[in-house]
Amino acid sequence: MTEKFQSIESKINKPVTWLLTGLMWIVAVLIMVIIAVVFENIYHSFGRYLKNDITIIGILIFAQSILILCCLALIKGLMYKRKEKVRKVIINENGAIFYNYRNEVTGTVLYDDLRPALNTTADVYVYSTQTLKYSKTTLQIYLKNESGKTIPAAVDFNFELMILSNQYELYRHFLKGIQYFRPDLEIASKTIDQYYLTSDKPLRKGLGTFEYVMIFIFLMAGAGLLYLFILLFKIII
C-alpha cells in the first residue's frame, strides 16, 4: 500500500433511521394520548369509582404513573444530551474521529495511541457486546489510561438511534489503517477473515441480523401500543 491512505465517512441509512425514530416518536405520542384519556376518565368518574370500587382508582393511578415514566424515559432517550451523541465518524490516516450533530469532535481513536495487548494472543479482534442470540459486535483494542496503564477499550460504530449503511466498510477501513500504520500490532486471524483484510475486494454487507431484529421489535412495539390505545379507548368510551 504505497498510495495515500484514503479517508471514508459514515453514511446514515436514512429510510431505516427515520423509520425507527418515527416509530419511537409515534409510541411517545400514543402514550401521551393514553395518559390524557385515562386522566380524563379518572377526573370525570372519580366519585363513581370511589363509591363503587376504590381498587379501580388505585389500578388507574398506578397505570398512569407507569405510562408517565415510560413516556418521560422515551422522550429523554430521544432528546437528552444531543451534544454528546455520535452522529458521524471519519476514518483517515490518523484513526477514527467521532462528531456530534453540530460537527464538533466528541472523541478520537488514533492509531498512534493503540497499544499491544498484555495477556492475549491478538492486539485487535472482534468481540460480542451482548449475550443475546442476535448480538452486535465491536472491535477490541488496547489503550493507555491517564496513569499509563494499558487497558482494554472498544471501537464502536454502532450509533445510538442511527443505522449506518456502511458500518462494515468502516470497521474494515479502520482495520486496514492498523495494518498500514501499526504493523507491529497483531490482528486476530478470525477478524482478518471476517473483514477480508487480505483482499482488495471485500464482500459488501448491508444490514445485519441484529439491525433487522431491532426493526422488527420496534414495528411490533408500535403495533402493540396502537392496539392498546384502541382497546383502552373502546373500554373507557
Query: Mind listing the pLDDT tens digit for each residue in 61-115?
Result: 787 888 888 888 877 777 765 666 788 999 999 999 999 888 999 999 999 999 9
- Strand order, beta sheet including 125-128: 125-128, 137-144, 150-155
Q: Which H or E run includes 235?
A: helix 209-236
Q: Is the pLDDT of residue 5 over 70?
A: yes
Query: What pTM does this model have?
Result: 0.70
User: Is 37 found in the same domain as 146?
Assistant: no
User: Is 58 found in the same domain as 139?
Assistant: no
Domain count for the chain, please give it: 2
Q: What is the 3-state secondary structure (H, E, C) of 28-42?
A: HHHHHHHHHHHHHHH
- What Cα–Cα distance (Å) separates residue 143 from each residue in 54, 120, 123, 140, 200? 60, 14, 10, 10, 28
- What Cα–Cα distance (Å) separates residue 45 from each residue in 49, 61, 235, 237? 6, 13, 14, 12
CATH number, domain with residue 130: 2.30.29
Give the domain extent around 73.
Answer: 14-82+215-236
Q: Cell 464538533, residue?
A: 104
Q: Is the pLDDT of residue 210 over 90?
A: no
Is 227 among the domain residues? yes
Q: pLDDT-based confidence at 2, cuts 50/70/90?
A: very low
